[in-house]
């Protein structure tokens, strides 16, 4: 019996495309095992890397950990941009123009989620601890990601003080658009934190499924935000990002705060409706 490790690098929402247009194929195992695996990919035009089993598995963990690191890094830069009045979107664009870095995963916001990045970063950190190594950088990546989820609640507390009995809309419940996966989605934790603060939470997602415990599900963005003291964009679904935010903000209450947790909205449109726009790393937007 032969054993081989063949990690996948498929993204939710584009798995079929990623299968046929992959950047690389990684196979770990003996020469015979790799030869048999190679034949399975005869119709895929991509570089194929053969290595030992442990290295193949490490490639998977290291790839996801590096991408998570880019996300947490740009979120740290976003925090600094808030402090010095720089625009993180422009910073990310300029940094990404360097071909050694690229623009992928340099999108600031309320952090990563899903079934891969949280699990794989924690697993790699566990492996490090198991072997007596303190992986400082990776732990910082994980800690920064957890902190980002606190941002909208902290910002709303700064505006309103107490959130008791305030109606707050959470828009987007999946961890990213174009998928139905809510595993490790920031929205789930944000709803829980808001409920713990005593807020009345409405929730909307284009995919109809049960909302987080304590939230009231809504059929449309408009239904979720009407009469709300604040709206939190947790997922940059097209239905949310391309909505008429001038009209939506006008239906909100109190300070009409719109926390753009994915920097996906037009700040001018929010303000045109009398809303107060708060982005991530965009203090002057």
Catalytic residue list = 116
The encoded tokens of residue 180 equal 């139905």
Strand partners, 168: 201, 230
Q: What is the DSSP string of 39-65?
A: HHTTT--S-EEEE-HHHHHHHHHHHHH
């Amino acid at each position: 019996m032969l054993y081989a490790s063949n990690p996948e690098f498929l993204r939710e929402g584009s798995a079929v495309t990623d299968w046929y247009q992959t950047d690389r194929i990684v196979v770990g195992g003996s020469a015979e095992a790799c030869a048999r695996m190679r034949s399975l990919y005869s119709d895929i035009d991509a570089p194929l890397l053969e290595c030992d089993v442990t290295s193949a598995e490490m490639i998977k963990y290291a790839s996801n950990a590096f991408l998570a690191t880019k996300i947490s890094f740009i979120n740290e830069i976003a925090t600094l941009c808030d402090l010095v009045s720089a625009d993180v979107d422009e910073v990310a664009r300029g940094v990404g123009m360097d071909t050694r870095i690229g623009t992928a995963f340099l999108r600031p916001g309320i952090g990563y989620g899903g079934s891969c990045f949280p699990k794989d970063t924690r697993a790699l950190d566990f492996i490090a601890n198991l072997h007596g190594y303190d992986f400082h950088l990776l732990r910082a990546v994980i800690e920064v990601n957890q902190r980002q989820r606190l941002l909208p609640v902290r910002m709303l507390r700064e505006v309103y003080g107490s959130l008791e009995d305030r109606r707050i809309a959470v828009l987007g419940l999946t961890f990213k658009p174009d998928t139905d996966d809510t595993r490790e989605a920031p929205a789930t934790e944000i709803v829980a934190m808001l409920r713990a603060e005593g807020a009345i939470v409405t929730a909307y997602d284009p995919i109809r499924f049960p909302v987080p415990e304590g939230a009231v599900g809504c059929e449309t963005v408009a239904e979720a935000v009407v009469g709300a003291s604040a709206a939190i964009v947790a997922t940059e679904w097209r239905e949310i990002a391309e909505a008429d935010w001038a009209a939506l903000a006008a239906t909100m209450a109190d300070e009409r705060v719109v926390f753009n947790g994915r920097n996906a909205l037009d700040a001018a449109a929010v303000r045109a409706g009398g809303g107060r726009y708060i982005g991530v790393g965009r203090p002057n937007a």
